[in-house]
Structure 1
Amino acid sequence: MMKLLYFILAMITLSVSAQTESIPQGGEYRFNSDIIPCITTEQRFEIKNKLKMARKVLIDKGILPLQYKSASAPPKFIIPVKKAANTAMNEVWAISYFVDHNLEYPNKLQDYNCGTRTYDDGNKGYNHQGTDFYTWPFSWYQFQNNMAEVVAAAPGKIIYKHDGEFDMSCDFNNNQWNAIYIEHNDGSIAWYGHLKKNTLSTKAVGATVAAGEYLGVVGSSGNSSGPHLHFEVYDRNDNLIDPFTGNCNSGSSWWQNQVPYRNPTINALLLHTAEIAFNTCPETETTNISFQFLPNTSVYTASYFKDQLAGTSAFYKLYKPDGEVFAEWTYLFNENYDSSYWYWHFNNLSDLGEWTFECTYQGKMVQQKFKVVNLISVAEENLEKLSLAPNPVSDKVKFIGTLPDAENYQMKLYNTIGQEVFKTPTFLSQFDLGNLEKGVYYLKVYNNLSGVSKTYSIIKR
């Protein structure tokens, strides 16, 4: 189960021109703290047998070669997770665990960098054999809204895929996962596991995919403690490959640009109407995210980090609509955390217009815009709470929630390469996608009066 293990209050240096709390709220958020094996030995054996049979069929059809040239170079990977178009977040993933290079157990751990960011299980005889990319922040909110997409790390051919399994697991259950398997031009194979049900690429087995091409949505199928991608790689001789290179894994990296062992990043700057609270798996978080506030009401400015580094500082600014700095402060991190969150409370933002919340960390700056307005209509408040169902969809899809005034909105639907598929000058509570090809689409809903918009990801089956 995903758990918040630590809640840490820390004093900060705060220099502001307005009233605010001088003590931040927040702390560390840990993924898979219960150490759930992604695949059992029996499941891995079964998967390899299925891949062997699937490859034989593709070889007989001439889709795969009988043998690969020994000089064929291995692929160079890109990160296999990316944010969808419908998210305001800067990034949607973090790494929890790498491949375990110490085959002894229990608690005999060694990752590629000679650290212990991996795990084993003595009871099940398990050493972690992949890289786990988990969604952060608000994993289940991302899951429900298809915000974290799995993409091909390198070009290749789909040799096998499995779908239809339960995708909201929170513990070890011995279930099968939803997964897709890609063979590259050197004969190596990448496994993409734990995907969300009915979101896998509609391309057939044997089809070619490009690097960065959509494969599915991050889910929690199979043995899983929450939404994440298990990325596992084998060379053409079926040897397990850790694509990362370091002091405890010599050789060449399989990444185009290997990310650092600690990769400090601002995953998101968000504004909330209430204090941050996380969920009990698999409940979807009540995020209380908003980008519009009434004057002098509670505004929680929140920052979400991956790979927070002890001894580093984050620098914050809050700008008024006229560009004047309303508040600025610095927060010093005292611990290393895989993922963390920190937020501050304001209740005296009175100037009407567009404000800017800014954070600079490790030389990289992220901004988030929000508005202070005199009036937030019921329809405006509920725009953030609207959802589409069913999703994935075969034909008709409809909005669930309090519907806005139709004449104040317009809607546009785009495909994954940004082409406009259709548009409507008013809000439609229900529409039919039956004539569209299978794939992922993005529906953008605009408010003609305020300019506020929201984008929804739709998977057409």
Structure 2
Amino acid sequence: MNKLSSLALAVCLATPVSLLAQGGLGGGGSLDDPAGRPDCISPTERALIAQLTAAWQASGQALPSYAGVAPYAFYPQAGNLYEDLWISNYVDLDGSSGILDWHCGSYTYDGHDASDSLIRSFGEQLLGVPVFAVDDGVVISTADGNPDMNTVWSGQPANFVLIDHGGGRTGYYWHLKNGSVAVSTGATVVAGQQLGLTASSGNSSYPHLHFGTYDVGSATEVFTGACNPGPSGWVDQEALVTTPFVWDFGFSRLDLASIDPPDAFPRTGQVAFADPSIYHWVLLPSLPAFSDWRVVYKRPDGTTAFDTGNFGFGNSTSFKFSWLWWGFDIPEMHTLAGEWSLELSINGTLLVDAPIDVLPVYDPLFNHAPEPISAELLPADPGINDVLRAVVTSDSVMDDLDYDMLTHDWTWSVDGSVVRSVTTGARSDMLPALSLGGYVTCDVTPGDGTDSGATVALEAAIQGPAFSTSGQALGGVGGAPEIVGVGSLVPASSVKLVLANAAPSSAAWLVLGAVAINAPFKGGVLGPDPSPPGFFVLQQTDADGLTRVDTTWPAGLSSGLSIWMQWWVQDASGPRGFTASETLHGVTP
């Protein structure tokens, strides 16, 4: 991306403030890459990559090449596309001096060999946006220690990770944050493992991840479409959005003429009677040529106080990426307190409907806590080979009514033990696959630097490779308990038998049997036969309704030996004072 001054951007726009007595469009414009921009990996770094790759191949450490490399299961960056991430450039498929992306558009530049996924500003960069390994592999090389808030292309060295993903495939992870690279040359990495943080190191002018895929030395476009037909390089390719959408928005009490993206924007949820004007700004990808805008301010009672009508931007060409700001002096906002609202429409479509508090006197201590969030764990029914993604699904613009940049706390636990706890400036996070299974929870908490929002708890039960469930669970008011078998049942290996979603602080019995009897019991079905050689293990659930039995699978057991397991929990909400899990069946390999 190219950072231009506000003065230069304003030249692109056709509606100066003077056209409206009460204000108007103040500035902004296209942030598109100019024709002839340099490659975001400099010639010096290209030569370095060639040397590193050749040395890696000669070292004997390179993973073997093979046909049929599997498609990627996720994009390797925290955040959600078209919410807090946006891909501005794809691989250039035009072999000449022209440009062509996979969907026959111009979202690329001449010679580009990767996907450039932007974050919204340096503000999010400072909060931290993780970058993850897209697949298993071995690290070919890394670089760190270089400046990471570059805004011009001057051939600067980048912080990066270069990974051999096997099958002749190499992954490029470029422009990382200074001091964030978390892996070293020769290290084995797994899909979903954090490599570093997003930034603007190297030949870069905007914080982003340059994610490239090279197959047997040639750049590969993993997105497929009309101009790159064939099977997608993604398990689930994200649908393309080419219509205007609000990537970020906020109000300001300050004139925005001096703001220059990717600088962090001033933000407020309130203005005072004494403020001479109210300003608002927007980051807006995919603005068509000859677009128009309209701004409406409404009083606290919902009636219209001010309506600009439609004005053209005067853009004779489309803007792939733009930022725009307006300033208005609304007379009634100097005398009428309450929650006002602004409506911003582009080309007749309402894109923003945002509240703003008008106060007699500005209150620097007042703060809106983040809005309640919704979230989900993906994939919906994970298995032992799936990287887990916790994703915030609620509104990405009206997530805080002071328009603050939000952090999210991500606390991942497996079988009751915390395995990852991070605070980031992104709307998703990842956990590598659990090859032996486990009961996974992820608590997600938004924060604005002053207050925290309500925590959303996500969970998933992933059965280990040697286990399967059958039979009927017996539920209570809180639903049915869950049993999770963790481990392979290889003789002398570790095994966990986890109980989750049970009544808190309650007695729980793990019933184990060599055969299944499926007999009526306490209003449910008792799966295992507890008579010898079967037995019981008494446990106590914790405050979250969780407990587990850790053991070592005995050595010397014959292959194909079966065991049936089931949890029964003392629970007054159960039909006869008990609830029970399904029956778990394990087989020694």
Q: TM-score, normalised by structure 2?
A: 0.52
Q: How do residues 8-407 of structure 1 correspond to structure 2 at under 5 angstroms? A: 8-10=12-14, 20-21=22-23, 23-33=24-34, 35-50=37-52, 66-68=64-66, 70-78=67-75, 80=77, 82=79, 91-104=83-96, 107-120=97-110, 127-136=111-120, 139-146=121-128, 149-152=129-132, 154-157=134-137, 159-160=139-140, 161-181=142-162, 188-201=169-182, 205-210=187-192, 215-235=195-215, 237-255=216-234, 256-260=236-240, 262-278=242-258, 285=263, 287-295=265-273, 297=275, 298-310=277-289, 316-328=295-307, 329-332=309-312, 335=315, 336-340=318-322, 341-348=324-331, 349=333, 350-359=335-344, 365-377=351-363
Count of residue correspondences: 374
Residue in structure 2 matched with residue 6 of structure 1 by the alignment: 9
Q: 3-state SS of the aligned residue for 1:24?
A: strand
Native 8 Å contact 1:157 1:208 kept in 2: yes
Q: Structure 1's 439 and 258: CA in aligned 2 closer, same or farther, altered over 3 A?
A: closer
SS of 1:46 mapped into structure 2: helix
Pairwise CA distance, 1:324:
4.1
Q: Is the 8 A contact 1:269 1:357 kept in 2?
A: no
Alignment check: 8 A CA contact 2:271 2:358 kept = yes
The one-letter code sitting in structure 2 at the alignment partner of 1:73 is A
1:300-321 Cα offsets, whole Å, 9 max, x none, are 1323211112355556544444
- Shift in alpha-carbon separation, 1:79–1:6, aligned structure 2, 3 A: farther
Partner SS, residue 43 of structure 1 = helix
**How far, CA to CA, are the matches of 2:203 and 2:88 in structure 1?**
16
Q: Secondary structure at the match of 2:211?
A: strand
What SS does the corresponding residue of 1:82 show, helix, strand or coil?
A: coil
Alpha-carbon distance in 1 for matches of 2:170, 2:83: 27
Residue type at the aligned position of 2:190 = T
Q: Deviations over 1:87-140 (max 9, x none)?
A: xxx844444433233344xx44443345554434xxxxxx3222323444xx34
Q: Kindly tell me: are residues 317 and 334 of structure 1, through their superposed partners in 2, closer, same or farther at Cα, counting changes over 3 Å? A: same
Q: Which residue of 1 aligns with 2:377?
A: none
Q: In the TM superposition, what whole-angstrom CA distance separates every residue of 1:343-395 from its partner, at most 9, and x where no partner exists?
A: 241343243333333445586744444322233345669xxxxxxxxxxxxxx
For 1:361 and 1:182, locate their aligned partners in 2 and report how far apart those are by CA, in whole Å: 43
Indicate how the Cα distance of structure 1 residues 318 and 93 shifts in structure 2: closer, same or farther if over 3 A, else same.
farther
Contact 1:155 1:208 in 2 (8 A): yes
Partners of 1:285 and 1:65 in 2: how far apart?
41
Deviation at 1:150, TM superposition (A): 4.6
The percent of aligned pairs where both chains have the same amino acid is 22
Secondary structure of 1:265's partner? coil
> 1: CA distance between counterparts of 2:227 and 2:221?
11
| CA distance in structure 1 between the aligned counterparts of 2:328 and 2:197, rounded to whole angstroms | 34
Paired residues of 1:269 and 1:367 also in contact (CA < 8 A): no
CA–CA distance in structure 2, aligned partners of residues 287 and 112 of structure 1: 33
- Decide whether the 8 Å contact of 2:279 with 2:325 is kept in 1: no
Mapped to 2, the partners of 1:306 and 1:445 lie a distance apart of 25
> C-alpha distance in 1, partners of 2:364/2:283?
29
Give, in whole Å, the separation in 2 of the partners of 1:346 and 1:418.
Answer: 48
Return the letter of the residue paired with 1:6. Answer: L
Q: Secondary structure at the match of 2:48?
A: helix
CA contact (8 A) 2:27 2:257 kept: no
| Per-residue deviation, residues 64-92 of structure 1 (Å, max 9, x unmatched) | 96454x334322553746279xxxxx844
Residues 251-303 of structure 1 show CA distances to partners (whole Å, capped at 9, x for unaligned) of: 3333433443734221122101123235579xx84733222211252211323
- Aligned equivalents of 2:423 and 2:178: distance in 1? 14
C-alpha RMSD of the superposition: 4.5
- Looking at structure 2, the residues matched to 446 and 249 of structure 1 have their Cα atoms a distance apart, in angstroms, of 44
Q: CA deviation at 1:32?
A: 4.6
| In 1, Cα distance between equivalents of 2:114 and 2:449 | 41
**Larger CA Rg, structure 1 vs 2:** 2
Q: Deviations over 1:191-212 (max 9, x none)?
A: 12111112345699323233xx
Shift of 1:439: 4.8
Identify which of structures 1 and 2 has the higher relative contact order when contacts are C-alpha pairs closer than 8 Å and 6+ apart: 1
Looking at structure 2, the residues matched to 222 and 346 of structure 1 have their Cα atoms a distance apart, in angstroms, of 42
| Equivalent AA in structure 1 for residue 336 of structure 2 | D
Show structure 2 runs of 5+ residues with no match: 368-405, 414-418, 426-445, 454-589
- Going from structure 1 to structure 2, the CA distance change for 1:439 and 1:249 (only over 3 Å counts) comes to same
Q: Which runs of 5+ in 1 are unaligned?
A: 85-89, 121-126, 382-411, 420-435, 455-461
Alpha-carbon separation, structure 1, partners of 2:87 and 2:254: 28
Say if 1:358 and 1:206 are closer, same or farther in 2 by CA, change over 3 A: farther
Task: Indicate if the aligned counterparts of 1:82 and 1:151 stay in contact, CA closer than 8 A.
Answer: no
Q: Structure 1, residues 201-249: CA drift from partner, whole Å, max 9, x if none?
A: 5699323233xx75443322122234332221112x2321123334443
CA distance in 2, matches of 1:327, 1:81: 40
